[in-house]
Structure 1
Amino acid sequence: MQANNWFGTFALRRLTYSRYTDESDTLKENLYFFIMDRLTPERRSWLMSRVKAKNTSPEMVVRRLVYGMGYRYRIHVEGLPGKPDLVFAGSRKAIYVNGCFWHGHEGCRYAGLPKSRVAFWAAKIARNRARDRENVSAMEADGWRVLTIWQCELKNREKISELLHDFLKQE
């Protein structure tokens, strides 16, 4: 059931107002039922299609750090499970750079589920996490060393630089 945008906006404003009054919880629940996405399905689809899978900002940060350390790498190698973001073929090492939301980083404040379509998003993120585990297991079974870097970890550049250096230097 899709509500018009003006009605969704009205319901959201009404719900916000009712939080600060003594109106019943039933009214809040009824109004919340009608709150829909502000965007039309076509616009939401267009917006979601713009979410990149390659060359994301977190990935570019890691690539710049690694390149600055003097290491050279390949990106998104097709023959490897999950197409790792950075591949060091000579030393058989791979780095995955994961977004906290899309890959369900446990304990991270960026990994919360949206409030709408919770079942859909929970299933989607669970599938992503299962696929990530399978990819890492397959890589390790083939003799690769794998490092997963989370988007939230990139806030501390010194720590992540040290982590990358230690990972790439070990034999």
Structure 2
Amino acid sequence: MSLNDVITLPTRSGIELEVRPAREDDEAALTAFFERVEDEDRRFRFFAAADKVSAQQIAPLVHADQFRTESWIGFDKASGEIVSSGVLASDADRDTAEVAISVAGAYKGKGIGWAMLDFLGKQAEAQGCRRVMSIESRENSAAIEVERDKGFTPEPFDGDPTLVVLSKAFR
């Protein structure tokens, strides 16, 4: 898939989500997007409390190799506004891929996270990954609930009781 290819995903709320790989010229738009992500959700995504996402945190999103690490942006087709960001990062053997998703505050509860999770899971499976996983703060009950609804199984995170690993096997 090229950096200009766009995939349209339906959501349960009827919003058509257009998803494409993040590009270097998306840096300012992603910075603005993360300002529209709720503070707590930003903390859950980056495991750090900050009013803003730093340039160092945005850089890997816009410079992903789109092979082992894929960075995706979701747009509301009707408005053209960035409403989600998702990353899929696989290990060296492409056995396991980790997902991380953020949704703009005004779009939470509209199926955007569900659509992105499905999409990233299918991307991982198509690449031959045997499982997809997410590391969540135990406080992030909304994400944990979505992932459990999507067939992810929780397990303790070794060494940090405040975190949980949720994973889903494909084969």
Q: TM-score range by the shorter chain?
A: 0.3 to 0.5
Quick check: which one's helix share is greater?
1
Quick check: which one's strand share is greater?
2
Structure number with greater Rg is: 1
Using structure 2 for the length normalisation, give the TM-score.
0.32
